[in-house]
A and B are shown apart, each in its own frame.
Chain A
Amino acid sequence: MKQFMFLFKGGDDVWDAKSTEEQSAHMEKWMQWIGQMAEQEKYVGGERLYPTVKTIHPGGKKITDRSFAEAKELVGGYITVLAETMEEATEMAKECPGLQWESSVEVREVWPDEA
């Protein structure tokens, strides 16, 4: 099994516009999605990120309060999962509930630990 990381991007505006009830109903879907992967022992872990950004630019001297990216490119969080292939991981990512709320998911393979 290889490790893949799902990067969730954008969707913060949609999230902010929803009511608390809608938000927790939405998180319920996240739990089912991740819960299913966990049941199949394919879930490794992950974190959610606040939208506040400070970017340190190359050279390390210039710091800005926003990222380079557009709001929809802003990484809102990530989870790590196990899959045999990139294709399988991509299929898994298609079920992400965030896709319904204008998030996109970027699937990336994680460099393996040195054996």
Chain B
Amino acid sequence: MVAVLIKIFGTENIELAEDVVQDALVSALETWKYRGMPDNPRAWLYRTARNKAIDIIRRKKHSKTIDFSDPERKLLTSEYTLASTMNDFWKEQHIQDDFLAMMYACCHPDISQENQITFILKSLCGFSTKEVAKSFLTTEDTISKRLYRTKEYFRKHKIRPSIPFPKEIGTRTSVVLSAIYLMFNEGYNSTHDDQLIRKDLISQAMWLCKSLLDSERTQLPEVYALMALMCFHAARIDSRITEEGALILLADQDRSIWNTELIALGSKYLNQAAFGDTLTTYHLEAAIAYQHCTASSYDATNWKEILRYYDLLLKIDNDPIVFLNRCLVLLELNGPEEALFMIQEIKDHKILNKYYLYHAILGEIHERLIQPDEAIKSYKLAIELTQSKSEKKLLSRKIAHILN
């Protein structure tokens, strides 16, 4: 909805677009409270936002806020054409195109990648500043500053949302994909206090990726790879938490409830991802997820193959979090001594020190080495660093397990 409104008002008027959405939501809550929810709440919201947009156009017609000299906006200036032009903006096909176009606008090459993703998550995916902050392992204050800078950039350069030309589409799409992947991760491992898995975010990320695949212009190997990766992860969602919302680790998951349809779909996408000579981190991560999904039990997991994929991953991108996960594979393959030896290499890493998984994994290693004091110390640190209740619970269970 914001994307459509930004198209109407121009990227320099993002606040205006956000205000309209906010207003529409407030009216919805007020009206629905008394009259009940309408049959089609989405259509109701769109109609309300559309009408509010018309009001704003009428009010701002003679101010300089909105650039009406833009050919797309010219027809908004006269009552003869305002309503019909406005309806045009809200057609289903346009809504989806605008959404993609806006994602690409956010991924403008002159905006830093961090700012790009921050902005997509915040203004197009409805993330709260707090959620974006967790995704980036940083503070809300930093995120607010990034948002401000991006808005300023849009305003100054009057960036217009559009789907890029073929020669740029590769580099531009990679940023869009990182955003989708981050969104998916947030859904898979949510920062929301009570909900460990947020299916809304997961389905939104998958829908976005799917809409890239639906458009011929953006059917790239890495898009298929990411889609495959998300299918494999999503297939395991229901086995990851108990009915009470507690986390279940991979080793203890009931593999019979994994979604075979999604696994098959993922395999199909992974095959499609294989055309061309592109090998991205998404390809490798999907391959790893594929190994997990097709192993009949935890013990039957092909750790050797997975380790090979991790080595390739580190060659593409020396990412400390990938390194951390590789330590986990080593723990399974070669035992805790080697894992501890490897993890020491990154013990002074500033960002990792604030990452709860680092401490959780360290705790696991110490636990297997039968060093209960160190294990408990690490688990406690991890508990402090995560906001998720389920993860806190899981970690507390581990501590309790050691103490018994």
Name A residues whose Cβ lies closer than 8 Å to a Cβ of B: 24, 27-28, 30-31, 34-35, 38-39, 41, 43, 45-48, 77, 79
Q: What residues of chain A lie closer than 8 Å to B88, measured between beta carbons?
A: 31
Task: Return the contact of B85 from the options A24, A31, A46 (Cβ within 8 A).
Answer: A31
User: What CA separation (Å) do A11 and B81 show in the bound complex?
Assistant: 18
Contact in complex: A47, B79 (CB < 8 Å): yes
Q: Does B368 contact A (CB under 8 A)?
A: no
A-B contact pairs, 29 of them (CB 8 A): A24-B83, A24-B87, A27-B83, A27-B84, A28-B84, A30-B80, A30-B84, A31-B75, A31-B80, A31-B81, A31-B84, A31-B85, A31-B88, A34-B75, A34-B78, A35-B85, A38-B71, A38-B75, A39-B71, A43-B75, A45-B77, A45-B78, A46-B80, A47-B79, A47-B80, A48-B79, A77-B80, A79-B78, A79-B80
Q: What residues of chain B lie closer than 8 Å to A47, measured between beta carbons?
A: 78-80
Those of B24-75 within 8 Å (CB) of chain A: 71, 74-75
Task: Return the contact of B81 from the options A24, A34, A41 (Cβ within 8 A).
Answer: A34
Those of B189-225 within 8 Å (CB) of chain A: none
User: What CA separation (Å) do A101 and B80 show in the bound complex?
Assistant: 15
User: What CA separation (Å) do A38 and B81 show in the bound complex?
Assistant: 11
Q: What residues of chain A lie closer than 8 Å to B75, measured between beta carbons?
A: 31, 34-35, 38, 43
User: What CA separation (Å) do A35 and B87 show in the bound complex?
Assistant: 14
Q: How large is the interface on B (under 10, 10 to 19, 20 to 34, 35 or more residues)?
A: 10 to 19
Q: What residues of chain B lie closer than 8 Å to A34, measured between beta carbons?
A: 75, 78, 80-81
**CB-nearest residue of chain B to A49:** B79
Nearest 10 CB-CB pairings of A with B: A31-B84, A48-B79, A31-B81, A46-B78, A28-B84, A30-B80, A34-B81, A27-B84, A38-B74, A48-B80
User: What CA separation (Å) do A45 and B81 show in the bound complex?
Assistant: 10
A21 to chain B, nearest CB (A): 13
Q: What residues of chain B lie closer than 8 Å to A77, measured between beta carbons?
A: 79-80
Q: What residues of chain A lie closer than 8 Å to B78, measured between beta carbons?
A: 34, 45-48, 79
User: What CA separation (Å) do A79 and B84 show in the bound complex?
Assistant: 16
A30 to chain B, nearest CB (A): 5
Q: What residues of chain B lie closer than 8 Å to A45, measured between beta carbons?
A: 77-78
Q: What residues of chain B lie closer than 8 Å to A39, measured between beta carbons?
A: 71
User: What CA separation (Å) do A48 and B58 show in the bound complex?
Assistant: 13
User: What CA separation (Å) do A46 and B80 show in the bound complex?
Assistant: 8
Q: What residues of chain B lie closer than 8 Å to A28, measured between beta carbons?
A: 84, 87
Those of B118-142 within 8 Å (CB) of chain A: none
User: What CA separation (Å) do A27 and B83 show in the bound complex?
Assistant: 8
**CB-nearest residue of chain A to B85:** A31
**CB-nearest residue of chain A to B78:** A46
**CB-nearest residue of chain B to A97:** B80
Q: What residues of chain B lie closer than 8 Å to A48, measured between beta carbons?
A: 78-80
User: What CA separation (Å) do A43 and B72 show in the bound complex?
Assistant: 12
User: What CA separation (Å) do A24 and B87 show in the bound complex?
Assistant: 10
Q: What residues of chain A lie closer than 8 Å to B79, measured between beta carbons?
A: 47-48, 77
Q: What residues of chain B lie closer than 8 Å to A35, measured between beta carbons?
A: 75, 81, 85
**CB-nearest residue of chain A to B84:** A31
User: What CA separation (Å) do A36 and B253 show in the bound complex?
Assistant: 61
5 extra interface residue pairs, beta carbon distance < 8 Å, beyond A31-B75, A77-B79? A27-B83, A38-B71, A47-B80, A48-B78, A48-B80
Contact in complex: B74, A27 (CB < 8 Å): no
B62 to chain A, nearest CB (A): 11
Q: What residues of chain B lie closer than 8 Å to A38, measured between beta carbons?
A: 71, 74-75
B88 to chain A, nearest CB (A): 8
Listed residue (A31, A47, A79) with the most chain B CB atoms within 10 angstroms of its CB? A31
Q: What residues of chain B lie closer than 8 Å to A31, measured between beta carbons?
A: 75, 80-81, 84-85, 88
User: What CA separation (Å) do A48 and B79 show in the bound complex?
Assistant: 6
User: What CA separation (Å) do A103 and B81 show in the bound complex?
Assistant: 17
**CB-nearest residue of chain A to B86:** A31
A90 to chain B, nearest CB (A): 19
User: What CA separation (Å) do A10 and B78 show in the bound complex?
Assistant: 19
A56 to chain B, nearest CB (A): 24
B20 to chain A, nearest CB (A): 21
Contact in complex: A43, B74 (CB < 8 Å): yes
B90 to chain A, nearest CB (A): 13
Q: What residues of chain B lie closer than 8 Å to A79, measured between beta carbons?
A: 78, 80
Q: What residues of chain A lie closer than 8 Å to B83, measured between beta carbons?
A: 24, 27
Q: What residues of chain A lie closer than 8 Å to B84, measured between beta carbons?
A: 24, 27-28, 30-31
Q: What residues of chain B lie closer than 8 Å to A43, measured between beta carbons?
A: 74-75
User: What CA separation (Å) do A48 and B77 show in the bound complex?
Assistant: 11
Q: What residues of chain B lie closer than 8 Å to A24, measured between beta carbons?
A: 83-84, 87
Listed residue (B80, B83, B85, B88) with the most chain A CB atoms within 10 angstroms of its CB? B80
User: What CA separation (Å) do A34 and B77 show in the bound complex?
Assistant: 12
User: What CA separation (Å) do A48 and B85 show in the bound complex?
Assistant: 15
